[in-house]
Amino acid sequence: MREFTLTAEGHENVSAQHASTFEFTTDDFLTPAGDCILGIEADAAASDVPRDFVDACQSEDATITARLDADGHEATITGSGHPDLTYTNDRSMVGRTSTYVDDRTILVDADTAAGDLDRDLVDALAAGATLTVTLTVE
What ranges do the domains of the chain cover?
A: 2-137
pLDDT tens-digit series, residues 70-103:
999 999 999 999 999 999 999 999 999 999 999 9
Please state the CATH superfamily assignment of the domain spanning residues 2-137 in this structure: mth639 domain like (2.60.120.630)
pLDDT (0 to 100) of residue 25:
98
**pLDDT score recorded for residue 64:** 98
Q: What local confidence, expressed as pLDDT, does residue 116 receive?
A: 98
- Report the C-alpha gap between 28 and 22 in whole angstroms: 17
Give the pLDDT of residue 46. 98
pLDDT of residue 96: 98
What confidence tens digit (pLDDT) does each residue in 14-60 have? 999 999 999 999 999 999 999 999 999 999 999 999 999 999 999 99
